[in-house]
A and B are shown apart, each in its own frame.
Chain A
Amino acid sequence: MLKLEKGIISSSQLTFLIASYIFGGVVSITYATQLAKHDNWLTILAGFALSLPFILVYTALARRFPDKNLIQIHDIIYGPYLGKLISASYLFFIFTILTSNLRYIGDFTLTYILPETPLSAIVILFTFVCAWGVRHGIEVIARMALTLVVFSAFLFLLTFLFLLKDMELTTFLPVFEVPLTEFIQATHIIVTIPICEIFIFLLVFPSLNKKQQLNRSVLLGLIIGTGYLFLTVVRNVAVLGPLIGITSAPSYEAVRLIDIGHFLTRLEVLFAIVLIIMSFLKSSILYYVLVLGIAQLLRLRSYLPLVFPLGIIGISFSVLMYDSSIEQAFVGSTIWPIYALPFEFLLPLLSLVLAKLRRLPKFQGGSR
């Protein structure tokens, strides 16, 4: 069997890829913010703790089948037919994540930066840049991730410092005010949308050069990404206070308040830059994983011919799938956590248990 991806990434590059992927989820914590309000920072901590076991399931699966990606793992565990079916449903799930992301960035740009532009124009331009990155393979995306994460972390720290004088720590009080059901729902959103979506890296892990460092780099990436989300939420709560449950983009509203001596104002575009860069990385990774997975499922020799057709289908669906950003927020907070449940929690766990019970992978003549 020919290997589809010849690129090799190092473990530190994997760390930054995962961190940037979770960074990219900064848009979706809004769904949780509207529920948990000023206790949102607690939901991030709870979500981090809850998602750890599942992340360990993914890495255990990846270490059990070091040279296989998710599609091949399904073929081995469930057999050729059921495995193909499960892989196809996974790819559909990844496709819907990708289109939601494209739609979100389109809606964000439409609302805050370019109000008169048609949605499809923004999405087409954004997808085209992603397609360019994807055609160059995982190595280029990984190298890009390192630079862009450092750059946007710098911009983030800058806005954090500028906002220090506006922060009031009393806005965190009273702690744990929200009802328990809403707290659970917000935690569920945090676990499924930004954090546990990194199961898609099961398709990237075979490109890693040092397989024994996999656990370490994944956990480090998880900590960096979640730490960034945590700092963002703490900043937003401290700056916005009770306003945080009302706005549709709290980070944007918080950065908008920067005012240094009436001279440094209207820096909200700094946050827009960070958001667009991070969404670009997240969408590129999703796009790459989707194209690679489909090429693997159809047993092609190269994934390059699928990049443009899939991008065009993605653009069409992202314009089609929601009528408005309100509907997207509604689906993101009530339907999506349930929809993601089988793909992120049940099936990986089932795969691992079945692989353990059937003592897979079997050794074949000395070489794995």
Chain B
Amino acid sequence: MTFLLILAFLGVALFEVPNLIRNKHWRELTFFSAFLAFAFLLSLLQILNVELPNPIRGIQYLIKDILHLNYS
């Protein structure tokens, strides 16, 4: 599973990076790598069954338990 994931991410990198380097789009390359690294970390942790913080839970907590605005 992890091997497949690494393969998929390598595929994405090979698809995008040559064009970016050829056009000298360094800023784009930086942000592309940052987002791709984040995506890789996220999906790797998910595959390894690590409990991740959930933004929707945070919003639920904010609206329900702090602001008390939710519909019952």
Contacts and interface: CB of A to CB of B under 8 A. Distances in A.
Contact of A308 (B12, B25, B60): B12
Contacts of A59: none
A185 interface: yes
A316 interface: yes
Interface of A: 92, 96, 185, 188, 298-302, 304-306, 308-310, 312-313, 315-317, 319-322, 331, 333-335, 337-339
Contacts of A322: 56
28 contacts: A92-B55, A96-B56, A300-B27, A300-B28, A302-B25, A305-B20, A305-B29, A306-B32, A308-B12, A309-B32, A309-B39, A310-B39, A312-B9, A312-B42, A313-B42, A316-B39, A316-B42, A317-B42, A320-B46, A320-B52, A331-B56, A331-B60, A334-B70, A334-B72, A338-B69, A338-B71, A339-B59, A339-B63
Given A320-B46, A331-B56, A309 B71 contact: no
B54 A320 contact: yes
Contacts of A298: 27, 31
B12 A333 contact: no
Interface of B: 9, 12, 15-16, 20, 25, 27-29, 31-32, 35-36, 38-40, 42-43, 46, 52, 54-56, 59-60, 63-64, 67, 69-72
Given A306-B31, A313-B38, A316-B43, A335 B60 contact: yes
Given A300-B28, A331-B56, A335-B60, A312 B43 contact: yes
B19 to A, nearest CB: 8
Contacts of A335: 59-60, 63-64, 70
B16 A312 contact: no
Nearest to B15: A308
B43 A308 contact: no
Contacts of B46: 316, 319-320
